[in-house]
Amino acid sequence: MVLLYFLPYFCKKFIPFRCLFSGLLFFTLISSLPNNSGLYVHIPFCRKKCIYCDFFCGGASIAKWDIFTENLIKELKSRAIEISPKLRTIYIGGGTPSLIPKNNLKLLVSAIYDTFDCSELKEFSFEVNPEDVNSENIKTWTNLGINRISMGVQSLVDKELSFLNRNHSADCAYEATRILCKSFPEVNVDIMFGIPGQTLSSLEFSISSLLSLHPTHFSAYSLMYEEGTPLTTLRDKGAFLEMDEEYNLSLYKLTSSILDDNGFEHYEISNYAQPGHRSIHNSSYWDFHPYLGVGPSAHSFDGISLRRGNFPDLKYYISNHSSLFNPPHTEESLSAEELHDEYIMLRLRTREGIDLSDFSSRFGKKKLDILISKAESFISNSQLILSQNNLSLSESGIMTSDNIILSLV
Ligand code: SF4
């Protein structure tokens, strides 16, 4: 849910329509595209808005599923040439993709299989909300080839869920997790810390209860106060007290330590996986692999330097009836300097950190020397770890990662 939203600042120029490729350019491009492409499809509808959410999503009541699905399909067919035809991963995220009516989902997935070569597909992720998990939907999702489910649970304490204005109860989320873990080989649950009123023991209860059901992956996020959300407005009006920073940090440490004790690898700042169960699709963002994003507000990357961001223009998707479909978007080709900074920023989010040989071959030995020299003070106070060929954040470095990354770019 989060991943396609951290890129918009890379995109500056508004380009309403891309030019059409000539036949020759088309074949040149296709033959030179890397074979590790991912497809992201954004479904921007939710039943109700969570209090903290600043994602692009609208009320399900305004969804016009038929025209929306038709336009998504038109977009993915017309833009398929931007990535290798052989897909490695598919990710349908939102919003709440599990809201999409069964027939529309079937049409969308068939169009994906018709458009791309999915013979070597490694992962097909689908985001769901607990209230949509039932035996009929599970059958549909499984039959469509979905093999990884990601579900927003956030907490298993009703008081915390109702503070967040979530649409489900703790019992509903627990039962949904139980069913999913029995039905799919890969299950991620999102949990949240820093909810006002949350305590070490209530967080431990939520995580331990989920662990008893054996999900393969956890994404853990701190509650964020984004501008313009009801959460921030209410805090500013004094309706509640934001959690003290130190206590929030202790909740984060507790999360990491429980998951570590239970065999999860902390492989990215917010992500924990059982060995062999990392998210392949999400890892491609940190590994600079190409991906195509379709749907309002979805982002794309060509694996080299070109980033594109669709405008969050839902109206375009539910009112455009033309056969030529290319939604308004921003597009930017990153300069060498921007790629350098982005590489440091994204790679340092991961457990392996920066591969120094790869860094040197991309940006040169001189840049590598500068990086190591800037990193020295953090290495000596153990916030960064320099091993033979990698520079990575330590657990204590993760807690101040923003400052460290800023100092290195
Ligand atoms: S379900 Fe997810 S996308 Fe929808 S409002 Fe809540 S946090 Fe935002």
| pLDDT tens-digit readout, 323-362 | 778 899 999 999 999 999 999 999 999 999 999 999 999 9
Residue 14 has pLDDT above 80, yes or no: no
Q: 51 in a domain, yes or no? A: yes
Instruction: Find all residues with CB under 8 Å of 69, minimum gap 6, and list them.
Output: 100, 104, 107, 108
Give pLDDT, residue 25: 38
Q: What is the CATH number of the domain that holds 358?
A: 1.10.10.920
- Partners of 386 in the beta sheet? 391
Same domain membership, residue 270 and residue 388: no
Q: 346 in a domain, yes or no? A: yes
Domain count, the chain: 2
Residue 58 has pLDDT above 80, yes or no: no
Give pLDDT, residue 34: 52
Protein residue whose Cα sits closest to atom 8 of ligand 1: 53
Q: Which residue has the higher pLDDT, 44 or 322?
A: 44
Give pLDDT, residue 36: 83
Same domain membership, residue 236 and residue 349: no
Q: For a pLDDT cut of 90, what percent of the chain falls above it?
A: 83
Residue 61 C-alpha to ligand 1 middle, in angstroms?
15
Same domain membership, residue 104 and residue 206: yes
Same domain membership, residue 219 and residue 117: yes
The mean predicted confidence, pLDDT, of the chain is 90
Q: How far apart are CA 310 and CA 322, in angstroms?
A: 18
Q: 295 in a domain, yes or no? A: no
User: Do the bridges between strand 265-268 and strand 217-222 make them parallel or antiparallel, or are there none, so unpaired?
Assistant: unpaired
Give pLDDT, residue 334: 94
Residue 1 C-alpha to ligand 1 middle, in angstroms?
8
Give pLDDT, residue 362: 94
Q: Which domain holds residue 364?
A: 336-409
Q: Which residue out of 55, 160, 163 has the highest number of ligand 1 atoms within 8 Å of its CB and is therefore the one to mutate?
A: 55
In this structure, of 17-31, 170-184, 373-387, the range with the lowest mean pLDDT score is 17-31
Residue 48 C-alpha to ligand 1 middle, in angstroms?
8
What is residue 33's DSSP assignment?
S
pTM here? 0.89
Give pLDDT, residue 31: 43
Task: Judge whether 150 and 181 are in contact, CB under 8 Å.
Answer: no
pLDDT tens per residue across span 198-245: 999 999 999 999 999 999 999 999 999 999 999 999 999 999 999 999
Protein residue whose Cα sits closest to atom 3 of ligand 1: 95
CB burial string 276-285: b at 16+ within 10 A, e below? ebbbbbbbbb
User: Do the bridges between strand 329-333 and strand 13-15 make them parallel or antiparallel, or are there none, so unpaired?
Assistant: antiparallel
Q: 211 in a domain, yes or no? A: yes
Give pLDDT, residue 63: 77
Q: 312 in a domain, yes or no? A: no
Same domain membership, residue 381 and residue 269: no
Give pLDDT, residue 369: 96
Q: What would the mean pLDDT of 120-124 be, rounded to a whole number?
A: 97
Residue 379 has pLDDT above 70, yes or no: yes
Protein residue whose Cα sits closest to atom 5 of ligand 1: 49
Q: 306 in a domain, yes or no? A: no
Same domain membership, residue 110 and residue 29: yes
Q: What would the mean pLDDT of 34-40 be, rounded to a whole number?
A: 83
Instruction: Find all residues with CB under 8 Å of 236, minimum gap 6, and list them.
Output: none
Residues with CB under 6 A from ligand 1: 1, 46, 49-50, 53, 55, 57, 94-96, 129, 152
Same domain membership, residue 344 and residue 272: no
What tokens appear for 154 in the block?
């956030």
pLDDT confidence tier of residue 377, bands split at 50, 70 and 90: very high
Residue 134 C-alpha to ligand 1 middle, in angstroms?
20
Same domain membership, residue 347 and residue 268: no
Give pLDDT, residue 35: 63
Same domain membership, residue 282 and residue 377: no
Q: What would the mean pLDDT of 1-16 be, rounded to a whole number?
A: 32
Same domain membership, residue 364 and residue 251: no
Q: What is the CATH number of the domain that holds 249?
A: 3.80.30.20
